[in-house]
Chains A and B, each alone.
Chain A
Amino acid sequence: MSAAEHSSKGVENAIVRQAEFPIGIDLYPLDEERRGWADWYDRDMEPEFSALADARVWLVRIFVSWKYFEPQVGQYDEDAAGRLDAILDMASAHDMKVLVSLFADDRLAEMTDVPWGKRRDPRTDDYLIQREISLAQRVVNRYRAHPVVWGWELANEAFCTGFKSESDLERWTTMLRDAIREVDVERPVLLGVDPETLFRTTGVDARGAIDMNEYAVSHLTAPYRVYAAEGPVTSGPATYLEGFLLRAAARDLPVLVDGVGVQSLDFSLAEEAASIRTSLYSALMNGASGVMVRRYRDLETEKREPYFRDPFEVLVGVADVEGEVKPSLGEIKRFARVAARVDRRRYQPAPERVAVLMPAERYEPLPSLAGLYGPRACLQAYIGAKEAHLPVDVVREGDELGAHHALIIPSAMKLSPGTWSEVAAFVQGGGSVVMSYGGGDTDPAVREIFGIEFLGDHGVRRTVSCRVAQPGVLGELCSFDARLELPHFALLGHGGATIVATDATGSPLLTVNQYGQGKAVYIAAPLERALAQGDPWAAPAAVRDLLRTVYGSVARAAGAGPIVDCDTPEVEVAVFMGEEDDLVIALNHSPEAVTAMLSVERVVASVADARGGIPADVGGKTFGVPLASNGAAALRLSYS
């Protein structure tokens, strides 16, 4: 393809690319396991770039190999720089940008395994860190004026899992970041780790290090998926996990959703495509500032007997080992057209007035199980709020609560005294809170805020029984008995709260208390944890309904209800509000096709596909949206 053709293609693509929401993909140095570290990007990458440009991918991440760049101490390989030049030129020719990852581990190309390092740790050894700084400055200096470079990634998550402490990680990040800033003050610098998944893997809290940079990263790793939402990737809790991590990773920084795509070769092509579609839309709907797909080409693993599967998560791409593109790339292309229409200067996402609070006990090590139960319970609460179609955020204990109107504290065993004071002030000031019992003794603040007397823990129960005593107080609740193992059940005495529902023996299950200007709802059992610890794919519908109804009712009463309501819990809805019209994105989290009925407060004149097309007249406040299995729809709503 000639330069002129590239250029004209670039103009065409510019119409359907959104620079403020980059869609990117990782281009790994090696696509075949049999090749060695010296084969770093030693291949014709033109077909990859062409296919990606055709799919409207705007950003590629490439990985610098320290080993290849600096084979001897202080001696830099000009071939390496030449190959990198060629990649950047190719990206430029296709009107794409490049995110350069400086210190990454892909478990294959030995990129940070410098032979002269003598097995010292490049994360903590002062001498090696100085060498890393030299390399980083050399690379950044070479390309600082190159318009194709979008940003600098200090390290990826695989590299960062080697850090043993927060202080080591923060020190390393500070030194590398400062070194880059000496050379390039413009382009964003980021650390490619997700604070939640890295903590789960290493016990290292990366939040301090992340906050030093311009972007945060959300990255669902294979082990974290197994931990938090084991099971099929195209239905159930797994489909909400990326949105949850994205919300949890947002730390007043734009968030790049990293590692989009399935993590093993267990899936059919259709399942891979459905998974990518769900992840991409989930990212857009939950406020991401960009997405990075896991890899372009499947890694061709060696068929060594008896086991030839590779457990590493960077295995599966959007093209097969022959380079034939899969349906997943088509999904990216279609998504890019939608993302391009969500212009953040014209449309603002609906504000999240509901928050799920992740307690600080999440950071407690074993033998406390709170650190293991906490995130799972929070994920279930997040799903419950999403099923109630609430615009929901995830905050951590200690974060500012002021921006929210309703707070969900799921199955927490304990909160700090400072948090109790904040919660009390939050409710007194008109906020609403839903809290479920997490086991053990309760804080005295529970009596004050929730108006209940804690009489003890009744222990394990095999059945959840609900008898509605006050219909309509917390939505349309139904009485039921459902088989679900509860690890705890709080026996509650009267302390002024209204008992909305009881168990089968008359012990309060659900209470509501007016405290100051706000409402405090207490659930006597850790329902969210019970759902997570049971079988989330076969959770009793009645218990899910109960949570959904309570969350929805409390949020609505607090003025934090959905802007666009929906009759189908499995359909997630996001609204981007414009001056003249709104964009609504609906995502089906179920593997079954559905027709979701959406309701808005104003009369909708017409609905059109956000990508363009003929508007369909509505003339009402309710309209149906057919969604295929794991399907998504982006609609432009015009009002009368």
Chain B
Amino acid sequence: MTARSSQVLMAEGLARSEQVPAAVEACYDALAVNDAEPFAHCLLAHLLLEGDFYDEAIAEATRAIELDPDCSPAYLALGLAYDRRGGMWDQSVLVWHELAEVVPDLVTAHVQLGEAFGAAQFEEEAIDSWKRALELDPKEARALYNLAIAALKREGMATALPGFRKAGELDPSQDDLFFALLGIRSVPDRVVDPAKVREDRDSRLGAAALAARADDLFVTAELVRMVLDEDPDDADALALAAFTYLKQEAANEAMACALRAVAIKPDLATALYTLGVVYSRRAGLSKHAARVFIAFTKAASQHALAHVLLAESLLGLQRYSQSKKAYRVAIRLDPACVRARFGLAAVHLTEGLHAEADWEVRRAAYYDTRRQGLFWRLYDEYAEGGAS
């Protein structure tokens, strides 16, 4: 483990608890004691980057790397600062290349390297980098989105759409949306035992939803069946059944259940969601999907992803201006919605608004990397003497 001064440890604690001004001051205190402390410079770079002060972040990260060329979190901060600042793509490429060598299994380094290549108009190299990222993690949605955007630039929307669909299907937040509609925010920490569930409708449905959240689809199916045995027209149970079928790729059954649920309760958000998703996955039903998602956005208007789903269905129908509106609503509701950012970038490209498209891709990258909390992972590894 690399020794850190007490001032650095204090700055670290403050930075982890997001007390940015105090953490910056603590870093300066640490540097007053030892100006050649890479941890302090690296932390400072991270903090300044969090405040979007790119030039200052670049200076600090560069200094940290000068002091220790193995300081992997400083490479991350430096690369991100170059990317967000823009206009320094050559340096950015070098930094991501370096980080990918220092931490070879860091998928994001390859994705970012691809984005830096793309911004510098090196499309082939960019595509290679994203493919490399997908080799490391086939579920890396951002690499897929980037490939879809590249396909859109080269060959048009028809070639790009499957990529967008595939990336969307990998999005775990879509399931989160369904469960948020049911009022379930997190995965339950206890296994649902059907034998212990009270024998009333609400308890069974609630337990079924919790089981579905925990991916225990057998228990879900059993509990839903019990509810439907008592009332075959229970729309909530039908919607949950549709979702369960959907998770098992049984599209016809999912569609039948969802349709029945919507027929009974036309504004039931869970049913509309499931029906829309089923339609969107079936060729030739895009129009139906768009109609269902229009109703769904009314039923779940505060959920960014609802608007994204509508936007994606409209994108498939080549209704770009309507799609743009829906994406914009989604971004207003959740600026960190990576899926909406990439979708909006695609729409901008169809309109010839390249700068706006680049901006959306950059913001998507920003939020995606931030969400992963990579800095602290690399920092801790570096402090332990691991990755370096």
Contacts and interface: CB of A to CB of B under 8 A. Distances in A.
B359 A372 contact: no
Interface in A310-358: 311
B353 A533 contact: no
B236 to A, nearest CB: 27
A232 B86 contact: no
A439 B20 CA distance: 12
Interface stretch (A66-74, A264-272, A283-291, A428-436): A264-272
Nearest to A439: B21
Given A311-B87, A369-B20, A232 B355 contact: yes
A266 B86 CA distance: 10
A26 B59 CA distance: 32
Given A226-B86, A230-B84, A533 B51 contact: yes
B331 interface: yes
Contacts of A487: 20
A537 interface: yes
Chain A interface size, as a band, is 35 or more
Nearest to A269: B352
10 contacts: A226-B54, A226-B85, A226-B86, A230-B84, A230-B86, A234-B356, A264-B87, A309-B120, A311-B88, A367-B24
Contact of B51 (A234, A372, A439, A540): A372
Contact of B354 (A227, A266, A306, A540): A266
A403 interface: no
Contacts of B56: 366, 372
A231 interface: yes
Interface string A149-176: 0000000000000000000000000000
A367 B85 contact: no
B27 interface: yes
The winner among A270, A439, A535 for most chain B CB atoms within 10 A is A535
A270 to B, nearest CB: 7
A591 B89 CA distance: 27
A232 B332 contact: no
Interface in B41-60: 51-56
B353 A268 contact: yes
B331 to A, nearest CB: 5
Interface of A: 222-223, 226-227, 230-235, 263-264, 266-268, 270-271, 306-307, 309, 311, 366-367, 369, 372-373, 439, 460, 483, 487, 533-535, 537-538, 540-541, 591
B51 A369 contact: yes
A376 to B, nearest CB: 8
B91 to A, nearest CB: 9
A226 B57 CA distance: 13
B54 A227 contact: yes
B222 interface: no
B52 A306 contact: no
Top 6 A-B pairs, shortest CB-CB distance: A307-B90, A538-B335, A367-B28, A535-B335, A232-B356, A367-B25
Given A268-B355, A307-B90, 18 more contacts: A226-B84, A230-B86, A232-B355, A232-B359, A233-B355, A266-B354, A267-B354, A270-B352, A271-B353, A307-B93, A307-B120, A369-B24, A369-B51, A372-B53, A373-B51, A487-B20, A534-B335, A538-B331
A309 B89 contact: yes
A311 B86 CA distance: 9
Contacts of B171: none
Given A227-B53, A227-B54, A372-B51, A367 B87 contact: no
A271 B354 contact: yes
Interface string B1-35: 00000000000000000101100110110000000
A306 B120 CA distance: 9
A270 B27 CA distance: 45
Contact of A268 (B25, B28, B354): B354
B356 A235 contact: yes
Nearest to B328: A538
Contacts of B24: 366-367, 369
B334 interface: yes
Nearest to B325: A592
Nearest to B333: A483
Interface string B306-323: 000000000000000000
Contacts of B359: 231-232, 537
A222 B88 CA distance: 12
Contacts of B139: none
Contacts of B358: 266
Interface string B46-89: 00000111111000000000000000000000000000111111
Given A306-B122, A534-B335, A271 B55 contact: no
